[in-house]
Structure 1
Amino acid sequence: MNLTTLHAAIILFTVALVIGIGIYHSRSIKSAAGYSVGGRSAGVPLVAGSIAGTVVGGGATIGTAQLAFNFGLSAWWFTLGSGIAFILMGLFYARRMRGTGLETIPQFLSLNYGKKAEELSSVISSIGILFSAVASCLPGIEIISSLSGLDPVISSVLLIVMVIGYTFFGGMKSAAVGGIMKMVIIWVSLFVAGFEAMESLYGTPEWASLPAADMDLFGRGFELSMANLFSVIVGVLCTQTYIQCIFSASTPVTAAFGCFAAALIVIPVGLPSVAIGMYMHAFDPNVSPILVLPSYLINHSSTLIGGLAMGGILLSLIGSIGGLSLGIGTMISHDIIMPITKITDDLKLLKVTKLTVLAVMILACLISIANRGSEVLFWNYLSMALRGGGIFIPFTLAVFLPGHLTKTWAVISMAGSTLAALLSVFMGLPVEPLFVGLIASVIFILPGIRIKKIPGTKDYGL
């Protein structure tokens, strides 16, 4: 990439500005609850900003352009599916979850299925979310390495330093404020770049030579497209990070409208990355797929737009890693470490949460270095499958039909379905791991379903 001094200055200024504002707002964080759920005072903009700021990461930008480079419009399913999931979350989940006054999904599951379910779901969710963080670390390391010429290991250290500045100090509040600013930068710059790419491509011989499947939202096949859509929806609905944003809302109604606002932001944001991916396939086919988007912004766009967009892309990766790490760190510290160590002091819990978040960031970078060159959206979809396969059905039953599933079978379902999904991946079965997990979940849940007791009647097992 032909990075100029002006490019570098614009990128550095954009990233430093947003991180600096996030650090400034972190001064008010004095408690564990303030760190993990922002003191439960967030309005609609902050809820939407924290949700969109996390989901618009490596998969929504770099990964979408990477997939569009090979398959065209069908790469849009990730952001489209995420937006649909947030609409469903706002309609059916947000008010119920915010009304509990809790901080994590495992805590909610504990209310319905006991401590074993809380601990097990923390582990399952953490593994799944970790893979999403990897999906943002992969392009983050590659971009920093390509722009600076540094070794990938050193680049990963720089990435962690930036994530620490973005999220580590201020937790949910920093993520929310940074998310709003990041989305403004991405919306303006990336949409301008995407429009320019499509305008330059449309009507050319290269445009006419593109395969018809590249113009079809179902170009990779209807079944695969629906599988990807379903995995994103199920995965998002079970993700601690997004539920944590709901818990940070000032009221249940605010939580619901924050989800709707996030959907309006997220759904269209994948389209400019799709346009850029198709442009690069036509005019620069030898580029490394994972660097499709940054290569276009540096080499084919104006310096101002390219620099701003690259700053926004880096912030999207940083924000996603930070938000996802915050979700994992909150679950591990609150649902596993705190019960084991019997921590009661709030400041100690805050320190443990921060250290756990830092450990997650480092682990995600190490996994990314070991898997350089892998497809970004592969990690996103695998993450969604593992989270959804193990948690989705017991979680949904707890939200809408509390008391209808026994504790023992809920725990068996979580463990068995997650194991089934992992085995399907390692064995290379020609079935989406999400579906394997959900089928196993249903099989394990059926013996534990019961008709909830109605006054004057008895329970009848099914």
Structure 2
Amino acid sequence: MDANWTAMSLAIVYILAMGVISYAAKRFANTAHNFTSGGATYPALLVGFLLMSEFIGTTASVGTAQAAYKWGISAAWNLAALGIGFVFYAFLFARKFKDLGENTISGVMAKTYGKGTKLATSIIMIAALQIVAISVYASGGAVLAGLLKIDRATAIVITGMVAALYVSMGGMRSVIYTNVMHAIVKYIGIIVATAFALSQVGGMGELQARLPAEMFEVGNAGWPQIFAWILAGTGAVFSTQYVLQAISTVDNAAKAQRASLYTALLLVPFGLAAALCGMCASLMFPKINALQAFPMIVSQMDSLMAAVVVAGLAGSLFGTISAISIGTATLLYKDFYLPAVHKTDAVTAGDSRALMFVRIASTAVCLLPIPLAIFAPDVLKVTFLAKSLRLTLAVLVLFIFYAPQFGTPKGALTSILLSLVLTIGWYLAGDPYGIDNAYVALVIPLIVMSVSHLPRLMSSSRTMRDAA
């Protein structure tokens, strides 16, 4: 018990230090625009660390270890999928998004598909980000409950309240600076946890000798599941609000591309390390709930080692929540607040009410997921539901940049609304017939946009016949 409280005390010191950085950045977040954009441009490597930190929340360590407890090393695919997504993003979208000069995904949609699709995009993105927050709180609460010997619900409430205080101060600038620190601490934490876990089972050779051979097979999770992870992860990268928002902080398209590649390189090793932790936990604690795999490893450490890992987990939690908070607040501000007051971002530059709105919004979106997080049993599945929802948007983004004449604005709007209902419904039904909800999110826009394009195709055919 003493070791747990020592670890928590040292981790709290780290959190407070990050709070000081956020408070220092507060003076730069003096308008709604600066709060949501950062008010400056940043180096590509810094943005690469920022993006990596945003995607590696507590779900990345706790959720990957949970999956590896059952499936072994193939659980690392859930983060490798994001790395693959960022490689594609670097070559397909980074330059195009930067050249477009838009920092909301809904704004990108509006340029091609109109206002109705813009609002629908904003709604589905806000829903997806809130689902991510649910999984982050659920996994963070699981760790805190194990350390403090309190029930999980209480731990989640504490986590959410602290997060709400943390993220509403410095805006995008503080998110960039603190998330770089979070990324470094996360890496140190997962390395320490992996080294400790391997030492407890006798090393890698002993791990291989004692676990079934299939636990080391890259496809043990099942290739349909792995391809679903790749689809959902790639879709999330292509169309997530805070990715576009972060990319917009570099000053040219070449740096945007480099930042994306840096992110890909940082993600894969983290996934492998987290998977090894889950595999070690399956030997160390063979009869526990898989969700407790990573927290149980931490609970066995001495106070100093545990403090490093818990600080990394705290960084994971607050890094992701701050990105979600800023991303969601930006969507609410640009897509709902500004139209409601009939103003533009430039006009509200000195408007204290606009700044107050984004601060309140960023706090509110931190608190809303807490009740649902208490009832989230499988954090990895919840996370990939959020990614699946964004997959529909990713398909539409592909159309915007590479087939802008395909489909119609009405087809795009219908795709988003159907995906929101059917993808969540498919997930709640337990992914019937073994078909992951990511495939549902992929197929819906392909079918709907194809159907909406038929009248245009038929009209073109008639025109060609008449001309002949």
TM-score when normalising by structure 2: 0.90
Distance 1:15 1:298, change over 3 A: farther
Q: Is the 8 A contact 2:56 2:316 kept in 1?
A: yes
CA contact (8 A) 2:54 2:323 kept: yes
On the 8 A contact 2:161/2:367 being kept in 1, the answer is: no
Q: Which amino acid aligns with 2:7?
A: H
Stretch deviating more after TM superposition (339-348 or 184-193):
339-348
CA 1:358–1:11 in structure 2 vs 1: closer, same or farther (change >3 Å)? same
Q: Which residue of 2 aligns with 1:32?
A: 32
- How far apart in 2 are the matches of 1:274 and 1:460? 57
Letter of the structure 2 residue corresponding to residue 94 of structure 1: A
Q: Which runs of 5+ in 2 are unaligned?
A: none
In 2: Cα distance, 1:384 partner to 1:5 partner: 35
The 1-side partners of 2:49 and 2:166 are apart by: 14
Task: Give the aligned partner of residue 411 of structure 1.
Answer: 413
Amino acid at match of 1:439: V
The separation in 1 between residues aligned to 2:87 and 2:180, in whole angstroms, is: 19
Contact kept, 8 Å, 2:64 with 2:271, in 1: the verdict is yes
| Residue type at the aligned position of 1:414 | I
| Pair 1:424–1:408, CA change in 2 (3 A) | same
**How far 1:207 moved relative to its partner?**
4.0
Shift of residue 460, structure 1, vs aligned partner: 7.8
Structure 2 Cα separation of the partners of residues 266 and 37 of structure 1: 24
What corresponds to 1:357 in structure 2? 362
SS across alignment from 1:253? helix
**Cα distance per residue 1:187-236 (max 9 Å; x no partner):** 22321331342354336666423122210121021222112222111122
**Alignment partner of 1:402 is 2:404:** yes
Q: What is the match of residue 278 of structure 2? A: 277
The alignment of Structure 1 onto Structure 2 pairs a total of residues equal to 454
* Pairwise CA distance, 1:450: 8.3
Tell me the C-alpha RMSD between the 2 structures: 2.6
Match of 1:366 in 2: 371
The whole-number CA distance in structure 2 between the counterparts of 1:385 and 1:76 is 18
Which letter does structure 2 place at the counterpart of 1:75? Answer: A
**Distance in 1 of aligned mates of 2:422 and 2:5:** 51
Q: Following TM superposition, by how much is the alpha carbon of 1:43 offset from its aligned partner in structure 2, in angstroms?
A: 1.6
Q: CA deviation at 1:96?
A: 0.9
Question: Equivalents in 1 of 2:264, 2:205: separation in Å?
Answer: 33
Q: What is the match of residue 193 of structure 1? A: 193
1:381 paired residue number: 384
Q: How does 1:423-438 map to 2 (within 5 A)?
A: 423-428=425-430, 429-430=432-433, 431-438=435-442
- Contact 1:451–1:460 (CA<8 Å) still a contact in 2? no
Relative distance call for 1:83 and 1:19 in structure 2 (3 A) is farther
> What is aligned with 1:8?
8
Counterpart-to-counterpart distance in 2, 1:144 and 1:14? 15
Q: 1:160 to 1:427 in 2, by over 3 A?
A: closer
Q: 1:22 to 1:48 in 2, by over 3 A?
A: farther
Percent of pairs identical after alignment? 21
CA distance in 1, matches of 2:298, 2:423: 38
Quote the residue 2:90 is aligned against: 90
Are 1:173 and 2:176 counterparts?
no
Q: Does 1:443 align with 2:447?
A: yes
Q: Which amino acid aligns with 1:400?
A: Y
Tell me the SS of whatever aligns to 2:286.
coil
Contact 2:102–2:108 (Cα < 8 Å) also in 1: yes
CA 1:287 to 1:20, structure 2 compared with 1: closer, same or farther past 3 Å? farther
TM superposition shift of 1:399: 2.3
Q: Any unmatched runs of 5+ in structure 1?
A: none
Give CA-to-partner distance per residue, 1:369-428, whole Å, 9 cap, x none. Answer: 2x15x1110111111111213x12222111233344322222122222333323322344
Please give the secondary structure, in 1, of the residue aligned with 2:93.
helix
2:262 alignment counterpart: 261
- Indicate the larger mover: 116-125 or 279-288: 279-288
